[in-house]
A and B are shown apart, each in its own frame.
Chain A
Amino acid sequence: MAFLSLVGLVCSGCDLTGDAEAAERVIWRGRVLSASLPRPQFTLRDASGGRFVFDEETRGRPTLLFFGYTSCPDVCPMHFGQIAAAMRELEGEFEDVRERVRVVFVGVDAPRDTGERVRSWLDHFDPSFVGLVGSPEELQVAQRAAAVPQATRDPGGSDQAYTVSHASYVLLYTSDDQAHLRYAFDTSSEDWVHDLAHVLRGGWRSS
């Protein structure tokens, strides 16, 4: 007991819950944002056309948010392949991981990203992932609310074959309804398993 009090004294600045694991330092694999971002308020449509109020639907839950497009051959499938693999692996420790963690993909390419197409794109990775679509104006509002760079159609190509520039990273909101971390597109499934397991066990802490 004397030892524990000593630890308490030494660690008086830490958020010590008494649980040894919680006192363990977390070195996040994601990039820690210099200023956290609040869970954004925006409304889009889900694949079946229903209104999806992002902050209400996801409040209090760990949530991954990504703005991409379904014709994206490189960055988007890389992110989602790794996230899907991580979810499968996390199922071992957290059986209900798909209820606890929401993974949200917003299709920013309004002309081509229909609800149906976003749904079938996501089903390729994990049917539990949420797909959202909207008008160009609604998508702009959503990206502004999330404080990510606005997606734009790249010059060149044709109306059937063009590329889109968009935010390259995934934001992770934790149960405090803030995003403290973002993930570049070379994040591996192992990195996701590491960070999500910490978030599921203890929520966000700065280190």
Chain B
Amino acid sequence: MELSEQEVLRVAELAHLDLIPEEIKRFQPQLAAILEYVQKLGRLDTTQVEPMAQVIAPGALSAPLRPDVARPSLPQEVALQNAPDAGAGHFKVPSVIEKAGTSGE
């Protein structure tokens, strides 16, 4: 199957991956070969077949829910302990709203 460099870049963009040129060059033929291989599913007629999103075994209730009652959760400092950058009880991230006169994303 053909898979253009443009398509690889488009998918990387969707996946939030900043691929370097060598990676694009490596992935392009590998992804094309895998996509070519999975085309074989097209040989099966599935027009009358329901899609299966989840295993629902016979006899098992499907996704039973627990009672909707409040329970203790992780304390704030524990929830933040693995954050690469935290402060004042929050996860810190770069500014999202641009200051007037600066360019950025």
Say whether A and B bind each other: no
Binding site for A on B (CB under 8 A): none
Binding site for B on A (CB under 8 A): none
